[in-house]
Amino acid sequence: MALLEVQDLHVNYGPIEAIRGVSFSVEEGSLVTLIGANGAGKTTTLKTLSGLRPVRAGKVLFEGKDITKLSPEQRVKRGISQSPEGRGCFSGMTVRENLEMGAYVRKDTKTQAYRDDMERVLSLFPRLQERIGQHAGTLSGGEQQMVAIGRALMARPRLLLLDEPSMGLAPKLVQQIFSIIDEIKGQGTTILLVEQNAAQALKRADTAHILETGEVVRSGTGAELAADGSVKAAYLGGDL
């Protein structure tokens, strides 16, 4: 059974249909990526899965249970956590306080398990350990992205939703962020990745789906799509 199943999903912004009959699944332990041009519906899909956009039609199943109508908080409690597009740090709060906010639904914040999770995040992002008492608004873009991902991990998710983690970062930092994503997956967290850097996303994806104008138009393994000539031309500049 898939960890996540999206069944014939339809999502509107007013009269505009942003998602039109999208279906896909995410197997536990895998990395699945959604790629496509701006406006294709990638971010809307993640917002819908995290409960931030209402569903007009279709279903979202998590561990076989219908979560279509659950609130964002209820979904976090079930094990779905998102690092949003644009990082979305609490700029007036310290790095530590931002990370602690990621655990707001947890009841075990006084336990060793919680301390272990904080240590795990800081080991993934040593830069955050150095900046632990610094306000997030004073960090670089790359450091803020680390905070956003770390905050999502503090919810101890079964499924981590990553929305454009490399957006606006220098090439060296892009490589660092993707190396950390590899490590997170290697530690057993299932990942659904939305990413404009299609080459990096497909290189890591067990399964990939291409969205165009709110519909899935191609699916396959990351390797299959990366090797496809039409995909290369449209999303990889002709070369991986």
Given a cut of 60, is residue 240 above it in pLDDT?
no
Model pLDDT, residue 235: 86
221: tokens are 């393994």
Cβ(61)–Cβ(3) below 8 Å: no
18-22, 66-70, 94-98, 110-114: range with lowest mean pLDDT: 110-114
Angstrom CA distances, 225 to 37, 50, 238, stand at 15, 27, 12
Mean pLDDT of the chain: 94
Which neighbouring-strand residues pair with 99?
none
Interatomic CA distance for residues 51 and 170, integer angstroms? 31
Q: How confident is the model at residue 239 (pLDDT cuts 50, 70, 90)?
A: very low
Average pLDDT over residues 8-29: 97
- 92 pLDDT above the threshold of 50: yes
* Model confidence at 93: pLDDT above 70: yes
The pLDDT confidence band at residue 85, using thresholds 50, 70 and 90, is confident
What is the signed CA dihedral for 129, 134, 136, 137, rounded to 10 degrees? -150
Tokens of 225: 């799509």
> If one looks up domain 1-79+161-240 in CATH, what number appears?
3.40.50.300
Instruction: Specify the pLDDT at position 236.
Output: 78
- Provide the pLDDT confidence category of residue 1 given band limits of 50, 70 and 90: confident
Q: How far apart are CA 110 and CA 104, in angstroms?
A: 12
Whether 49 shows a pLDDT value over 80: the answer reads yes
Alpha-carbon distance 116 to 84, whole Å? 24
Please report, for the chain, the start and end positions of each structural domain, with discontinuous segments joined by +: 1-79+161-240, 87-156
Q: pLDDT band for 238, please (50, 70, 90 cuts).
A: very low
Q: What's the pLDDT at 237?
A: 64
Q: Would you state the pLDDT for residue 200?
A: 94
Tell me the per-residue pLDDT of 94-143, one tens digit each, with 9 for 90 and over.
999 999 999 999 999 889 999 999 999 999 999 999 999 999 999 999 99
